Each structure stands twice: as structure tokens, then as C-alpha cells.
Amino acid sequence: MSGISFVKGHGTQNDFVVIPDADGALADRLDEAAVRRLADRYAGIGADGVIRITRTETADEVRELADDAEWFMDYRNADGSAAEMCGNGVRVMARYLWENGLVEGPVLALATRGGIRTVHAEPDGQITVEMGRAKPAATRQLAFVAAGGHTWEATPVRVPNPHAVVFVDDLEAPGSLTSAPDLRPASVFPDSANVEFVVDRGHKHIAMRVWERGVGETRSCGTGVCAAAWVAMRRDGVGAGARYLVDVPGGRLVVTERPDGELLLTGPAVLGLRGTVEL
């Protein structure tokens, strides 16, 4: 069986194996087992997730978006499970499309399972993604996260992946995060959730660690950064147009909330190792 091409990319060290598949021919071959093998850091290439780049018209689950976005991000977590989208991954995908001449102009629309995402190339080389509006949980039931022998009240919110945001006094308090934090009650998190542990660093400036469902602790999480910033904005009572700096272990991202509620995520995207791999 012939090898397939790949590119390794990252956004603030949230890393991905990028698989170009314009005609959708690899959709069946990139099953959960294949994704787990590619993402394995000891027996594969190693990554937090796998991004298959294909034309939207080839993907049954999002074909209705083909008129608005030529390209679809088929994103899979390291365990092979599908995710709605990935904020860092969208920037990496956009970088790939631009650098390989597959799109033109500084603005493009990409299809994801979470809907259309508009991406902007900034003059300084950074990339901004329109991430959509945050959606708080419909329930008023209190939610909690437990890790490292501690329990905190959590704010559940979707961006569009589900998140549980907790404010802590020390980023070391959750411990090693070698296992999943405990989310309670299960009724508030029917699809599990990414968990953001957040501390203050200054005025409109926070830092966080994140545990991602289907992956584990990662160096960054784009949707999680947006969720954490959105919750911090509500806690701080800031108005529309707020801009927050968010430090993650892999670098720094910026979240801006437009007056209409749209969250903008700005940060780097880097492409590196390229090659072929056998599935």
C-alpha cells in the first residue's frame, strides 16, 4: 500500500499531523485506529490530533456547507474521536492552504463540524480565527471539577467544544493531570469536556493549563483559551470589545470579543516536518 503525505504543524505547541486529502480518498483509511497510530508519540509520528484537509463537497457530514467554504477540517483527537473543531488546528490548516497555494487572499472560510470559521492572515504573520459565540450551559445546576485532591466550582461553556473553566490559586494545584479530572454532575457534561485551570496574571491577562478530552494535558487549546477568556470577561464585568492575553505552556494567544459576541482568537501557526507515512 502506498504511503500518504503528511505535514507536522503546531499552534502554540498544540501539535497536529496534517493529512492533505483534497478528493476525500483517504476518508475510510483514516479510521480511529489509524489516527491513534499516527498520533502516538512513541510508535507513530506523535501529535495532539490529526487534521485531514479535504474539499467540503467530499464530506457527507458537512456537504451543505460547500457553497460557503471550499475546504473542510476533519479533525480527530489523538484517541481517534472526532471533535467539533480545534482553534489552534484551524490556524495550522489555514497556514497550510496559504503556503501551498490552495487558496488566495488574506481571508478564507473553512468548514468544521462546529460550523464555518472565517480566518484572517494578519500583517505580522499571526492568524486570527472568528471562533463563534460562547454558549453557556442551559442548566443552572452547579458544576464541579476535581483534580489533584482539590475540588472547584466550574463554569460549563461551549466554544463550540464543551469546556469546564475553573479558577485556581496556583497552576500546580491540579497536580500532574496524568488522568482525567472528575467532572460532576455527569448531566451537565454529557459529552465530557475539556477542562481549563486558570489563574490571573494581571489586568485582562490570564494563564491556564488544559486537559483535553481524547488527548490528555496539552500545551495549548484554542477553544479552551476562548472559553477561559470569555468566563474571565464575565467574572471581571468588562464590556464588549474586551481583549485578553492568555498564556499557555506553549506560548501566548489573544482573545477579543466583538460587540456582537463573536470571539476572535489570534496566534501563531507553524509548519515543520514533512514526509510520507504508511497506514
Same domain, 249 and 156: yes
Same domain, 164 and 245: yes
Residue among 192, 150, 185 nearest 169 (CA): 150
* pLDDT at residue 80, as a whole number: 96
239 band by pLDDT with thresholds 50, 70 and 90: confident
* Domain membership of residue 243 as a residue range: 135-261
Same domain, 13 and 101: yes
Residue 253 lies in a domain: yes
Question: What is the average per-residue pLDDT within 246-251?
Answer: 98
Residue 79 lies in a domain: yes
127 band by pLDDT with thresholds 50, 70 and 90: very high
* pLDDT at residue 140, as a whole number: 83
* pLDDT at residue 138, as a whole number: 82
C-alpha grid cell for residue 210? 488544559
Give the annotated binding-site residues for substrate.
14, 77, 87-88, 161, 194, 212-213, 222-223
Same domain, 56 and 139: no
Residue 108 lies in a domain: yes
Residue 130 lies in a domain: no
Same domain, 81 and 144: no
* pLDDT at residue 39, as a whole number: 97
Same domain, 254 and 273: no
Indicate whether 1 pLDDT > 70: no
Residue 204 lies in a domain: yes
Question: pLDDT (tens digit, 9 = 90+) per residue, 179-213?
Answer: 999 999 999 999 899 999 999 999 999 999 999 99
Kindly report the number of other CB atoms within 10 A of residue 219's CB atom: 18
Question: pLDDT (tens digit, 9 = 90+) per residue, 141-171?
Answer: 999 999 999 999 999 999 989 999 999 999 9
Plot region of 126 (φ>0 → left; ψ -120 to 50 → alpha; else → beta)? beta
Residue 57 lies in a domain: yes
Same domain, 181 and 101: no
Average pLDDT, the chain: 96
71 band by pLDDT with thresholds 50, 70 and 90: very high
Indicate whether 240 pLDDT > 80: no
Residue 121 lies in a domain: yes
Task: Reply yes or no on whether 86 is catalytic.
Answer: yes
Residue type, 181: P
108 band by pLDDT with thresholds 50, 70 and 90: very high
Question: pLDDT (tens digit, 9 = 90+) per residue, 15-48?
Answer: 999 999 999 999 999 999 999 999 999 999 999 9
Question: What are the two backbone dihedrals, phi and then psi, of residue 106, each rounded to the nearest 5 degrees?
Answer: -80, -5
Which CATH number goes with the domain that contains 145? 3.10.310.10
Residue among 52, 59, 23 nearest 35 (CA): 52
Residue 198 lies in a domain: yes
Kindly report the number of other CB atoms within 10 A of residue 180's CB atom: 16
Same domain, 172 and 214: yes
Q: Which of 7, 86, 165, 193 is catalytic?
A: 86
For 107, residues 6+ apart whose C-beta sits below 8 A from its C-beta are 118, 119, 120, 121
265 vs 77, 176, 222, CA distance in Å?
Answer: 20, 27, 7
Same domain, 52 and 120: yes
Task: Reply yes or no on whether 226 is catalytic.
Answer: no
Same domain, 160 and 79: no
Same domain, 171 and 247: yes
DSSP string over 99-161:
HTTSS-SSEEEEEETTEEEEEEE-TTS-EEEE----EE-S----EEEEETTEEEEEEEEESSS
Query: SS3 string of 16-70?
Result: EEEEECCCCCCCCCCCHHHHHHHHCCCCCCCCCEEEEEEEHHHCHHHHHHCCCCC
For 73, residues 6+ apart whose C-beta sits below 8 A from its C-beta are 51, 52, 53, 85, 86, 89, 90, 93, 110, 111, 112
Give how many domains the chain has, as a whole number: 2
Same domain, 119 and 195: no
Q: Which of 221, 226, 227, 263 is catalytic?
A: 221
